[in-house]
Homo-oligomer: A and B are copies of this chain.
Amino acid sequence: MVKVNENYTRLPGSYLFSTIGKKVTAYKAENPDKKVISLGIGDVTQPLVPAVIKALHAAVDEMGNAETFKGYSPDGGYEFLRKAIKEKDYGARGVDIGLDEIFVSDGAKSDSSNIQELFANNCRIAVCDPVYPVYIDSNAMAGRAGYYDKASGKWTDVIYMPCTAENDFVPAFPETVPDIIYLCLPNNPTGTTLPKNELQKWVDYANENKIVIIYDAAYEAYISEENVAHSIYECDGAKECAIELRSFSKNAGFTGTRLGFTVVPKDLVVDGVSLNGMWARRQGSKFNGAPYIVQRAGEAVYSDEAKRETAEQVAYYMRNAKIIREGLANAGFTVYGGVNAPYIWLKTPDELTSWEFFDKLLHEADIVGTPGSGFGPSGEGYFRLTAFGKYEDTLEAVKRFEKLR
């Protein structure tokens, strides 16, 4: 008699953004005349840049011609894309990554949820709190998180590293030494980064304690400060302890086009087993590559033309971030982030809980944001706004915030 994976039955509610989506859909249905502005889900609004569109059309034409048609992608992705990544993302920053250490995928969400498969089931994970929910959810589904305690909002077997205004949203080494640490830098949702010398301490800590760091650098394109590392491999010894996840979603608007990659260095060996070999086997057996046309689009992102065009988009979003940050501060809100990341992290006013403020904002200002508590218990009393909206909508949203006070 078949039995289900009981870990699923321990998951509280639905995936954060599904819940928000349902609430917003219901509100819009009840209020068809209201113009709801979404600063909620971290989804881009600017179109793919012309250089990428050009590459996509060319690749589509190749797929229509028997001489140039492409079937299954090579394991790990096409060399043309891996070469561009190797040279432009790493070589240009003085980091030497091998082509066979780069694994192209359909996006960082898949990779960040699948990567835990490589580790033993009794490994303890540590996460910044608050953080992108996928790290915990994927480990909970695999049974590595223990039980969810509703009162505390915590999983019994997860090590939380609180990041609040009290510690400037910078995590401290946890009291219990974990086996795996997830670091998302720049952090989603707080927008926090670490100076390179601070990140080096985490690498040293990991190597001393034989910990693997899962380093999610999905937002690296938004780093504006000089002393912040774009890749963890800029730190000494990181190849012996860190896996890095990258995405094309936020730097080039690929949220609906789907492309990412993961770097698993060959020097990353656990108990004599190469994680690079394991990930190659995992991807070879359970994944069939990103579409050829999308890999060509990814290659185009590295062209000089696209670099200019996507830099303009990043600047567009960061102008939004500045407008929200300064506008809300002027209106009396306490705000964080928005300097090295497209997220503004807000203290909810009047001691409101995150969900109370979500409802107030939706009903009184027709604005959708994301409750901080959805990113972890230390996110309670905070709220995330994204800078990915349209400029005009962002200006309008700030005006509505001013009226709300």
Q: In chain B, what residue has the closest Cβ to A209?
A: B1
Residues in B with CB closer than 8 Å to A137 are 285-286
Q: Are B179 and A286 in contact (CB under 8 A)?
A: no
Q: Are B45 and A53 in contact (CB under 8 A)?
A: no
Residues in B with CB closer than 8 Å to A286 are 109-110, 113-114, 134, 137-138, 141
Contact of A9 among B258, B273, B282 (CB under 8 A): B273
Which of A228-236, A288-296, A366-374 is near enough to bind chain B?
Answer: A288-296
For the complex, give the distance between the alpha carbons of A43 and B69 in Å: 11
Residues in B with CB closer than 8 Å to A285 are 15, 113, 133-134, 137-138, 141
Q: Are A2 and B270 in contact (CB under 8 A)?
A: yes
Q: Are B293 and A56 in contact (CB under 8 A)?
A: yes
Does A26 reach chain B (CB closer than 8 Å)?
Answer: no
Which of A117-125, A146-154, A195-203 is near enough to bind chain B?
Answer: A117-125
**Residue of A106, A120, A253 most packed against chain B (CB within 10 A):** A106
> Binary interface profile of A, 214-232, with partner B (CB < 8 Å = 1, else 0)?
0000000000000000000
For the complex, give the distance between the alpha carbons of A2 and B75 in Å: 27
Does A303 reach chain B (CB closer than 8 Å)?
Answer: no
Does A60 reach chain B (CB closer than 8 Å)?
Answer: yes
Does A127 reach chain B (CB closer than 8 Å)?
Answer: no
Contact of A289 among B138, B258, B291 (CB under 8 A): B258
Does A94 reach chain B (CB closer than 8 Å)?
Answer: no
Number of copies: 2
Does A4 reach chain B (CB closer than 8 Å)?
Answer: yes
Q: How many residues of A contact B (CB 8 A)?
A: 82
A114–chain B nearest beta-carbon distance, Å: 7
Q: In chain B, what residue has the closest Cβ to A46?
A: B66
Q: Are B63 and A47 in contact (CB under 8 A)?
A: yes
Q: Are A1 and B288 in contact (CB under 8 A)?
A: no
Please report which residues of chain A, range 110-164, place their CB below 8 angstroms from some CB of chain B when the two chains form the complex: 110, 113-114, 117-123, 133-134, 137-138, 141
Q: In chain B, what residue has the closest Cβ to A287?
A: B110
For the complex, give the distance between the alpha carbons of A278 and B53 in Å: 36
Residues in B with CB closer than 8 Å to A75 are 18
Does A212 reach chain B (CB closer than 8 Å)?
Answer: yes
- Ordered nearest first, which 8 A-B pairs have the shortest CB separation? A3-B120, A113-B286, A43-B71, A53-B64, A47-B69, A2-B179, A70-B256, A71-B255
Q: Which residues of A contact B (CB under 8 A)?
A: 1-6, 8-9, 11, 14-15, 18, 41, 43-48, 50, 53, 56-57, 60-61, 63-66, 69-73, 75, 106-107, 109-110, 113-114, 117-123, 133-134, 137-138, 141, 179-180, 209-212, 253, 255-258, 270-271, 273, 275, 278, 281-282, 284-294
A sample of 15 more A-B contacts (CB under 8 A), given A2-B211, A110-B286, is A1-B211, A2-B179, A2-B210, A3-B123, A4-B118, A43-B71, A56-B293, A69-B256, A106-B288, A109-B288, A117-B141, A134-B285, A256-B291, A258-B288, A258-B291
7 pairs, A vs B, C-beta closer than 8 Å: A3-B119, A8-B278, A57-B57, A70-B256, A106-B288, A141-B286, A257-B293
